[in-house]
Amino acid sequence: MSLYVAGTGGFGRETLDTVRAGWGTVEAFLDEIEPDGVVRGVPVQHPESAPAGHEYVVAIADPAVRRRLVGVLDGRGLNATTIVHPRAVIAPDTTLGRGCVVFANAYVSSSITIGAHVQVNYNATIGHDCVVADYVSIYPGANIGGAVTLGEGVTIGSGAVVRDRVTIGAGTFIGAGAVVVADVPAGVVAYGVPARVVRPND
């Protein structure tokens, strides 16, 4: 089955690396802005030219853009698939939804529920018994404690730390290097040590 990767930016190219490390080959990149090119030897097409029945993954960090492209590709009859690097660890009793991407050296502990189209970057960790909703992005080196709940579309910045049993509301962005020690509401930007809400996430 041919795989299409939506997104030709940094995350898209890293996803290509992950696919080539153990999953298979990429038929084409999909890009709305610069179709008809070639990226690292792979042709680039417009998303609306992707043929039905094939597999895809959206390799774009922005949760809102990811959600929109999922709608486009699902609507065309493609099937989202999950890509896990062979050097990532997925512990027992953990489930990943459709369309997830997990990079090298990520550690996803046991008894975790991960929704659809979630991205776990290299060297990130997720502790036991977490609940991770759809379209979450966990950036490189982030450390999520046990029994944490991440709402839909949450982004955890590079090197951030989230304490055990914290809940972070949907659409919230946690800045790089933040230390989250208490619940964070939905739809905000929070950063610092300890993390504090600084503004709405527009």
For residue 201, being part of any structural domain is answered with no
Question: What are the structure tokens assigned to 142, written together?
Answer: 């982030």
For residue 202, being part of any structural domain is answered with no
> At residue 1, does pLDDT exceed 70?
no
Give percent of the chain above pLDDT 70: 100
Which domain does 88 fall in, by range?
Answer: 83-195
CATH number, domain of 50, equals 3.40.50.20
Question: What are the structure tokens assigned to 137, written together?
Answer: 């992005």
Q: Is residue 34 very low, low, confident or very high in pLDDT (cuts 50, 70, 90)? A: confident
Q: What average pLDDT does the segment 15-43 reach?
A: 91
Using alpha carbons, list the distances in angstroms from residue 117 to 65, 69, 187, 197.
Answer: 11, 11, 19, 26
The pLDDT of residue 129: 98
Q: Is residue 29 very low, low, confident or very high in pLDDT (cuts 50, 70, 90)? A: very high
Please say which residue of 80, 98, 122 terminates a domain.
80
The pLDDT of residue 33: 85
Give percent of the chain above pLDDT 90: 93
Q: Is residue 10 very low, low, confident or very high in pLDDT (cuts 50, 70, 90)? A: very high
Sheet holding 42-45, edge to edge: 38-39, 42-45, 26-30, 3-6, 55-58, 79-80
CA distance 1 to 3: 7
7 with 32, same domain: the answer is yes
Q: What average pLDDT does the segment 187-201 reach?
A: 97
Q: What is the DSSP string of 39-78?
A: ETTEEEE-GGGPPTT-EEEE--S-HHHHHHHHHHHHHTT-
pLDDT digits over 74-113, tens only?
999 999 999 999 999 999 999 999 999 999 999 999 999 9
Neighbour count for residue 108 (Cβ, 10 Å): 26
Q: Is residue 136 very low, low, confident or very high in pLDDT (cuts 50, 70, 90)? A: very high
For residue 25, being part of any structural domain is answered with yes
> At residue 192, does pLDDT exceed 70?
yes
Please say which residue of 80, 110, 141 terminates a domain.
80
The pLDDT of residue 198: 96
* Residue linked to tokens 């190219």: 13
Please say which residue of 80, 111, 134 terminates a domain.
80
CA distance 39 to 1: 21
127 with 139, same domain: the answer is yes
The pLDDT of residue 24: 84
The pLDDT of residue 127: 98
